[in-house]
Amino acid sequence: MRRLSRIALLAAGTVLSACGYFNQTDCTLEARASVQVRVVDPQGNPQQDARVTFTRDGGPEQQALCNGSEQRQGNCDTWVTGYEQPGEYVITATSADGQHTARQSVSVSDGKCHVHSQSVTLTLPD
């Protein structure tokens, strides 16, 4: 009887381990960007003074985070639409003078632990 209990316990542990119940190392505490955005001109030069906004799931327009943490525009290498937020995004970049615009839609799905981050490069026309 005791041998049967050990076998049952071993089998249950194997099943739970295979299902990921005991393996929590896949998830981390980091926050992943939903969408990371770069803005360039037609020659591929960064446009650090662009204005980047986005909508998520048809909601209100929001300002992207400059360099991932600041709500300002200008001198940005990249912009981030927020962290760990799945959804349908429409990203818009506007030149500093307001004359040129580029727009792209992107879908961000939710994963087991984090969103599946997307990277977007928007090219502003001359």
Instruction: Using a pLDDT cut of 90, give the percent of the chain over it.
Output: 67
In a domain, residue 94? The reply is yes
User: What is the domain count for the chain?
Assistant: 1
E strands, 42-94, in order: 51-56, 62-63, 65-66, 79-80, 87-94
Please list, residue by residue across 34-43, b when 16 or more beta carbons sit within 10 angstroms of its beta carbon and e when fewer do: bbbbbbbeee
> Which domain does 47 fall in, by range?
30-123
In a domain, residue 5? The reply is no
Q: What's the pLDDT tens digit per position in 83-117? A: 999 999 999 999 999 999 999 999 999 999 999 99
Q: What does the pLDDT read at residue 4?
A: 43
What pTM did the predictor assign? 0.76
CATH number of the domain encompassing residue 41: 2.60.40.1120
Closest to 124 (Cα-Cα) out of 18, 67, 48: 48
- For 82, the token pair is 């927020």
Q: What's the pLDDT tens digit per position in 23-46? A: 555 689 889 999 999 999 999 999
Q: CA-based Rg of the chain, rounded to a whole angstrom?
A: 22
Phi then psi for residue 12, to 5 deg, are -65, -40
In a domain, residue 62? The reply is yes
In a domain, residue 67? The reply is yes
In a domain, residue 18? The reply is no
In a domain, residue 12? The reply is no
